[in-house]
Structure 1
Amino acid sequence: MIGRVILSVLLLSTAPALAGERSASVNYVLRCLGCHLQDGTGLPSAGIPDFVGKVGVFTHNPDTRRYLLHVPGVVNSGLSDNELAELLNYIMETFAGESLPETYQPFTAEEVAELMNEDVGNVVSYRRKLAHDLSAQGYPVADYPWP
């Protein structure tokens, strides 16, 4: 059984690559499941926040959108700008729920390229500041127990 699952993931991950970029759902499995679970939950005790019903708050403004592109798993993913935009949009559409603002604008490859080139310094400190600001505005932000 486990062998079939591994074979399925390998086939899903390599076959589309022969034809071009992988789908966002496949990239989620390949790039995000190391930290976030299949259902979008995290492991707060290990410093991994939940996506479910909360990740959408990070689309409210350029600073919070910039943060998403500097999460270690994103910045080190090796995905193209287009693949990252599609992956972030998949995450938002799949897991954000009511945390996604009505004014949500999907990520674009151009925005990804621009925001990834902007320095955020220490990403943990940057997230803490953004989370504080969002909380002060009344938005619920997922727990983030990093020091």
Structure 2
Amino acid sequence: MRITLAALLVSMVAVVSLGSARASESGQILYRLHCSGCHGLQGNAATVGGIPALAGNVGTFMKSAESRTFLTQAPGIMNSGLNDKDVATLMNWLVPALAKGSLTEPFKPYSVEEIAHSRANRPPDFFVARRKVAENLQKRGYALPNY
């Protein structure tokens, strides 16, 4: 009886620990699961599929409210199946981790509400929106690489 009770207790602790680990997935884990298939582990570009480099560029999107919102509207994020909280967690890891020198001001973390608003206002054509964002950033003296 004691062995059965001890085994049950150990099993319950393991289940609770597993649930806690899932509830607190880090942005890096979310990136590896949902983004690295296209951007690689280091946030690189890929010519096949026209995947832009995040590494060294993602901080440029923090230069305006428009471009900051646009970044969260990328097809990979919008189609990931992640909820708003997980997208905020992902983005709050991704930007500081991959921005390198492109993030020149302190990073303001994304809120769950900001992500929800971004998703509700998705542009009808992502690539047209990117060109507009890039042009507006360029007018302010910031350039994004072509892809």
TM-score interval w.r.t. the shorter chain? 0.7 to 0.9
Q: Deviations over 1:84-140 (max 9, x none)?
A: 111111111111012113143111111111111113120110001111111222213
Matches within 5 A, 1:96-115: 96-115=99-118
Per residue, is there more helix in 1 or in 2? 2
Counterpart of 2:63 (choices 51, 60, 64) is 60
Q: Does the CA-based 8 Å contact 2:96-2:107 persist in structure 1?
A: no
Say which one has the larger Rg.
Answer: 2
Q: For residue 46 of structure 1, give the secondary structure of its aligned residue in structure 2.
A: coil
Measured in 1, the distance between the counterparts of 2:144 and 2:20 equals 35
Aligned position for 2:80: 77
RMSD across aligned C-alpha pairs, in angstroms? 1.9
Residue ranges of structure 2 left out of the alignment (5+ in a row): 1-17
Measured in 2, the distance between the counterparts of 1:94 and 1:18 equals 21
Aligned length: 130
Aligned position for 1:27: 30
When normalised by structure 2's length, the TM-score is: 0.79
Identity in percent: 33
Aligned position for 1:127: 130
When normalised by structure 1's length, the TM-score is: 0.79
| Residue 80 (structure 1) shift | 1.6
For 1:123, the aligned partner's letter is F
Residue ranges of structure 1 left out of the alignment (5+ in a row): 1-14
Structure 1 residue ranges, 4+ long, deviating more than 2 angstroms after superposition: 15-19
